[in-house]
Amino acid sequence: MNYLVAVIGAGPAGLYAAQYLARQGVQVVLFNRDIKPGGLAEYGIFPDKHKMRTGLMAQFKRIIRMPSVRYLGNVTVGQSGQIKFDQLRRAGFQAIMVTTGAQENNWLGLPGEDLDGVYHANDIVFQYNQLPERVDQQFDFGNEIAVIGVGNVMLDIVHYLKRDQHPGEMTAYARRGPGAVKFDTQTLEPVAGCLDLTAIKSAVDEAAPTLKSVGEDATDFFLMLAEAREKSQDCASGMTFRMRFLRSPRRLIGDEIGRVRAIEFEINELVQKDGFILARGTGQYETVSADTIIFSIGSQVDPGLGLPVAQGNYLTSPEPRFPIDGISYEVYNPDLCVNCDDIFVCGWARLASEGIVGLARKDAERGARAILDYLETLMSKPQTEIEDALGRLPEIDKRMVDLPDLEILWALENKIALEKGLPEFKFSSNEAMLEAIEKESIRKY
């Protein structure tokens, strides 16, 4: 096989898809908007998880150094980018794998979301992880913080605030019961010492009749809290961390200078439908005070890419030609009711905010198998080599970053980290990264 595939996005999904395809003899060009590869493994995973981040980065480096993989960073593909899908086709790429993730904020559209003190978890994560385009955001955290959502990202936010901001109280709100929390013990551990177990117990007791109505109990939830608590240290910051259940936010209430001061919740009941437990508003409301509100309710894909979007994901075909394990990886155009033949999608671009890196890898490998099945149906064996295809792409007015540039950047960041005695050092702007690469290239040659 001598096929040529463009993978758009070099987060975990793009990298593992590239590895899978390259191992099958396909030539792959990885186009990445960020200068550095890794996606949310670089700019999402909590900075203190050094072992995990270093382990992943070592794997990613091996993939980018594979002979049939070519990395091009600092270039955006899609309708609003520098390279369009049609230009990739014309250049000789036979298939396109979209792995651009889901990094756009999801909002509920509630009154008051524009008040001061109302933030999205993504923005905070990208700021503390130094994602170049989002590092300059300013936050003014108060003392009484409400977080909407009960997943791992919520816990990362609680961890960050405890470590760096020392608020007095943080309360996470779930629209369903404790059985619906989506975090794991390991992520809970760093903040488990701050849990206000008495308050959480009374929140669960309050929800108990509703939980009982759908056959749910909180035994596993309390076991998880106890396990994390056992492994955790005392809460040195003095912060208390609570959780409340069966509450959906309906309105954010501000003061005369436009700062959020309270949040109105509708209290939910739980109903069973098609095997799922769903929250349904009861028409009863409760207002609680909060001077900071953080929405941690997942993300959505970028509509600027130019592919059809539904419910925060790029739309996949309901009738895929190459399903893998019953899953469709083929981008679908609902207006024309046709599959976009050569465009495939996987990772968080296919299912926004779904799962951790291991799941993105599985999805990427299945998506790559779908592409291989598609490539086998192509009649003529293509002759395009990577260099020829890249030569046919339009000139772009940005400096793209390739593997030799990355090697320089990685070495420099490691050197600075060592000099400063830090576990990790990151340049926090694209300009700083490009300048460092240029300077080092001139010095070397």
- Please give the residue ranges that form the binding site for ligand FAD (CB under 6 A): 8-14, 31-34, 39-41, 44-45, 49, 76-78, 81, 99-101, 103, 125, 152-153, 156, 302, 305, 347-349, 355-357, 360
CA dist 12 and 37 (Å) reads 9
Rounded CA-CA distance 361/374 in Å is 20
135 half-sphere exposure, CB direction, 13 A CA radius = 13
- Contact indicator for 308, 205 with CB cutoff of 8 Å: no
Least distance to ligand FAD, CB of residue 124, Å: 9
Angle between helices 185-192 and 152-164 (to 10 degrees): 20
> In the complex, what is the shortest distance from the CB of residue 188 to ligand FAD, in angstroms, rounded to a whole number?
12
> What is the closest distance, in whole angstroms, from the C-beta atom of residue 284 to ligand FAD in the complex?
33
Between 196 and 302, CB nearer to ligand FAD:
302
427 phi and psi, to 5 degrees? -70, 135
Residue 318 structure tokens: 């309901």
Q: How near is the Cβ of 302 to ligand FAD at its closest, in Å?
A: 6
- Beta carbon of residue 141, minimum distance to ligand FAD (angstroms, whole number): 17
- Looking at the Cβ atoms of 15 and 200, the one nearer to ligand FAD is 15
* Neighbour-count burial for 372-393, b at 16+ CB within 10 Å, e otherwise: bebbeeeeeebebebeebeeeb
Looking at the Cβ atoms of 77 and 203, the one nearer to ligand FAD is 77
CB nearer to ligand FAD: pick between 264 and 365: 365
Q: Output 60 or 322, the one with its CB closest to ligand FAD.
A: 60
**Nearest residue (CB) to ligand FAD, 216 versus 405:** 405
Nearer to ligand FAD, 58 or 257 (CB): 58
Smallest gap from Cβ 207 to ligand FAD, in A, equals 27
Closest to ligand FAD by CB, 21 or 153: 153
What's the farthest any 2 CA atoms get from each other in the chain?
73
Backbone angles phi, psi at 392, to 5 degrees: -90, -10
Q: Which lies closer to ligand FAD via its Cβ, residue 259 or residue 362?
A: 362
Rama region for 246: left / alpha / beta (φ>0; ψ in -120 to 50; rest) = left
Closest residue to ligand FAD, Cβ-based?
Answer: 11
* Total count of residues recorded for the chain: 445
* Distance of closest approach, residue 199 Cβ to ligand FAD, in angstroms: 25
The nearest distance, CB 289 to ligand FAD, in angstroms, is 27
Nearer to ligand FAD, 16 or 265 (CB): 16
Alpha-carbon span 147 to 157, nearest angstrom: 9
Tokens of 260: 């959020």
φ, ψ (nearest 5 deg) of residue 268: -105, 155
Contact 340, 307 (CB under 8 A): yes
Measured distance CA(307)–CA(305) in Å, rounded: 6
The C-alpha atoms of residue 389 and residue 384 are separated, in whole angstroms, by 6
Q: Please identify, using beta-carbon distances, which residue of 266 and 302 lies nearer to ligand FAD.
A: 302
Which one, of 56, 77, 82, lies nearest residue 6 by Cα?
77
Encoding tokens for residue 109?
């559209």
Provide the minimum distance between the beta carbon of 254 and ligand FAD in the complex, in angstroms, as a whole number.
27
As a whole number of angstroms, the distance between CA 252 and CA 259 comes to 10
CB 5 within 8 A of CB 94: yes
Residues 203/209, Cβ–Cβ less than 8 Å: no
Nearest distance from C-beta of residue 444 to ligand FAD, angstroms? 27
d(CA 410, CA 404): 10
CB of 352 to ligand FAD, least distance (A): 9
Q: CB 97 → ligand FAD: shortest distance, Å?
A: 11
Do 207 and 173 form a contact (C-beta atoms < 8 A)?
no
**How does strand 260-273 pair with strand 247-254?**
antiparallel
